[in-house]
A = this chain, B = another copy of it.
Amino acid sequence: MKVNTSPISGTQELTPETQANFDILKTKINDSYQKHGYFNIETPSIERTEILLAKAGGDTEKQIYKVVKTTESELEADQALRFDHTVPLARYVVEHENDLTFPFKVAQSGLNFRGERAQKGRFREFYQCDIDVIGRDSLPVAYDADVIATLLDTFNDFNLSTPVLARISNRKILSGFLEALGLDKKTKEISNVIDHAEKVTPEKTKMDLEELEINKTDVKKILDFIELKGNRSLIIAELNNLEINNETFKAGVYELDQVLYLLESVGLDEQVEGDMKIIRGLDYYTGTVFEFILPEYKNIGSVCGGGRYENLAGFFTKKSFPGVGGSIGLTRLFYVLNEKNLFNFDSQNLLDYVIIPVTESEYDEAFNVARRLREKNYSATVVLTDKKLSDKMGYAAKVAKKGIVIGEAEIGATSLTARNFTTGENEELNIEVTSNPEDFWAD
């Protein structure tokens, strides 16, 4: 009979109080995305495996969860749980192209699934809240600024007790820089080393570069390059000072300049920085790349990231859908914010009012008072346990901020008294309590 009732490892299960905080964060994200003009869509959690495998590779493929009906004796490999929102979005855009208005500003918030090895702060089932702008054939770089501004505004809506910084780069800058050094054949390997530079010592990064058979002069140049960072005027000046005569490099600098300009001009200048250490994965992104961090909590790592990609749906169609997007890993973000206690908002999860009928005879009146309060947009519940009044009061103070007792004296009253459980103060409410002549429990 003793059954293990814990949730499976790598999943989030919260008490009602903590869940309320999670829900506040989720609602803030969705509201912010909508306010910034991103239209919400939802794709199924289950996709054909061939769709998911079109993009997946390496570790991701190993982490895919397949789904099979229990009655099927053999593993039918045709359906699986999505591991991100990007592949389903690509399928969606191709499938519904004629119903969409391009550039398509789209938001997706939902669960994704990865069979990761369970460890602290790693989830197998987790919410990701994405925005993307998808163009048809072309998409101006100003949309990159739109995505980053939206995500920063969203983080600012969280009202955290610690600042948020967007670190921004452009993949063309590094590509052009390496082209100019004649190292473009090693771009992938070098990017990989830079991507890990913040997780290891500077000596290790140097060694890793040298192991790629890059000469010491160039290693030095790369190490100097990835230290470049700062606000728009600083980073653009530093990059120009390198005097690199390469078209890709110049195009990247121009795009970064434009993105930083727009972000600074909307008052986000304290929260954005050009930073040549930002890489974001290896193959997918082609222009702007960004990561958000909490500078006072650097070891949390990135709390949001994204970038520009040349073609969303290359696996599914010959048409060209360039895009830019970003993602908040909500489950992990909530986990770390909670752990570091960075929320500023009320975590009590209490209802506005609880109505306490003294006996069953006041149930109907209590129901009606709750109804009137809800009409005024308050949350309200009625205590319906057949316990002593003192027990009911104890319950009441656990679930709501204010309590209203309805006894015989209140029947027919034209106003009611609500007690604030925290301050002990009373408040008068203009609610009439109409008596019910045929009370059920009267006889």
Contact = CB atoms under 8 A, between A and B. Distances in A.
Nearest to A315: B3
A183 B309 CA distance: 70
A41 B349 CA distance: 12
Nearest to A94: B5
Interface in A360-396: 360, 363-364, 367-368, 371, 374, 377-382, 384-386, 395
B385 A103 contact: yes
Contacts of A37: 351, 354, 379-382, 399-400
A289 to B, nearest CB: 19
Interface in A87-105: 91-92, 94-96, 99-101, 103, 105
Interface stretch (A139-147, A185-193, A196-204, A270-278): A139-147
A86 interface: no
A312 interface: no
Contacts of A347: none
Nearest to A127: B42
Interface in A1-30: 1, 3-8, 11-17, 19-20, 22-23
Contacts of A239: none
In this complex, the member of A46, A146, A317 whose beta carbon has the largest number of chain B beta carbons within 10 angstroms is: A46
Interface string A256-267: 011001100111
Contact of A140 (B22, B103, B386): B386
Contacts of A66: 67-70
Contacts of A140: 384-386
B62 A69 contact: yes
Copies of this protein in the assembly total 2
- Which secondary structure dominates where chain A touches chain B? mixed
B70 A265 contact: no
Contacts of A409: none
Interface stretch (A75-83, A161-169, A241-249, A414-422): A75-83
Given A40-B16, A146-B384, A8 B48 contact: yes
Contacts of A14: 41-42
Contact of A105 (B81, B106, B367, B381): B381
Nearest to A355: B37
Given A101-B398, A262-B364, A374-B36, A257 B440 contact: yes
A96 B15 contact: yes
Nearest to A92: B13
Q: Which 4 A-B pairs have the closest CB atoms?
A: A37-B381, A11-B44, A265-B364, A142-B384
